[in-house]
Amino acid sequence: MDPALLKQQAAFKAKASQAIEMARKSTASTSHTTYDAEASRKKKRRVYNDPQLSVKSLSDFNTKTVLPHSASSAVNFGTMAKIVDYMKKRHLSSQQWALSLKEILEELQIYDLGKKSELWLQESLPMNPRLTVDENGKYLFKPPYKVKGKNSLLALLKKYHTEGKGGILLSDLNECIPAAEKHIEALSNVVIDVQTMINKRKDHVYFYNDPDTDYEVDEKFKSLWRNASVDHLDEKKIEEYLQKHGIDVMKDFGPKKITVAPPKRKLPRRRANQKVHNEHLTDVLEDYST
Asked whether residue 127 falls in the same domain as residue 186, the answer is no
| pLDDT beyond 70 at 15 | yes
Asked whether residue 158 falls in the same domain as residue 209, the answer is yes
Asked whether residue 88 falls in the same domain as residue 122, the answer is yes
| pLDDT beyond 50 at 202 | yes
User: CB under 8 Å to 211, separation ≥6 — which residues?
Assistant: 190
Of the residues 213, 229, 244, the one at which a domain ends: 213
Residue 24 lies in a domain: no
| pLDDT beyond 60 at 211 | yes
Closest CA to 174 of 55, 116, 91, 232: 91
| pLDDT beyond 80 at 279 | no
Q: What is the mean pLDDT of residues 42-46?
A: 57
Q: What is the mean pLDDT of residues 281-287?
A: 71
Residue 61 lies in a domain: no
Which pLDDT does position 207 carry in this prediction? 92
Percent of the chain with pLDDT over 90: 5
Which pLDDT does position 52 carry in this prediction? 53
Asked whether residue 185 falls in the same domain as residue 159, the answer is yes
Q: What is the mean pLDDT of residues 228-242?
A: 81
Query: What does the pLDDT look like over 2-11, one tens digit per residue?
Result: 777 777 778 7
Which pLDDT does position 65 carry in this prediction? 43
Asked whether residue 123 falls in the same domain as residue 163, the answer is no
Percent of the chain with pLDDT over 70: 72
Strands 139-141 and 131-133: antiparallel
Sign, CA dihedral 154-155-160-163, equals positive
Please provide the average confidence, as pLDDT, over all residues in the chain. 77
Asked whether residue 183 falls in the same domain as residue 164, the answer is yes
Asked whether residue 103 falls in the same domain as residue 133, the answer is yes
Asked whether residue 102 falls in the same domain as residue 137, the answer is yes
The mean-pLDDT minimum among 19-23, 204-208, 250-254 falls in: 250-254
Domain count along the chain = 2
Query: What does the pLDDT look like over 181-192, one tens digit per residue?
Result: 888 888 888 888
Which pLDDT does position 226 carry in this prediction? 85
Residue 129 lies in a domain: yes
Residue 66 lies in a domain: no
Output the domain CATH number for residue 120.
Answer: 1.10.10.10
Asked whether residue 129 falls in the same domain as residue 162, the answer is no
User: CB under 8 Å to 199, separation ≥6 — which residues?
Assistant: none
Residue 128 lies in a domain: yes
Asked whether residue 125 falls in the same domain as residue 169, the answer is no
- Number of neighbouring beta carbons within 10 Å of residue 174: 16
| pLDDT beyond 50 at 262 | yes
| pLDDT beyond 60 at 49 | no
Which pLDDT does position 58 carry in this prediction? 45
Residue 4 lies in a domain: no
Asked whether residue 164 falls in the same domain as residue 129, the answer is no
> What's the CA gap between 250 and 239, in Å, rounded?
10
Of the residues 196, 213, 230, the one at which a domain ends: 213
Q: What is the mean pLDDT of residues 107-113?
A: 86
User: CB under 8 Å to 178, separation ≥6 — which residues?
Assistant: 92, 93
Residue 281 lies in a domain: no
Residue 120 lies in a domain: yes
Of the residues 186, 213, 240, the one at which a domain ends: 213
Asked whether residue 86 falls in the same domain as residue 119, the answer is yes
Residues 206, 160 contacting (CB under 8 angstroms): no
> Which residue range is the domain that position 77 belongs to?
71-141
First to last CA, the chain: 138
> What's the CA gap between 71 and 57, in Å, rounded?
21
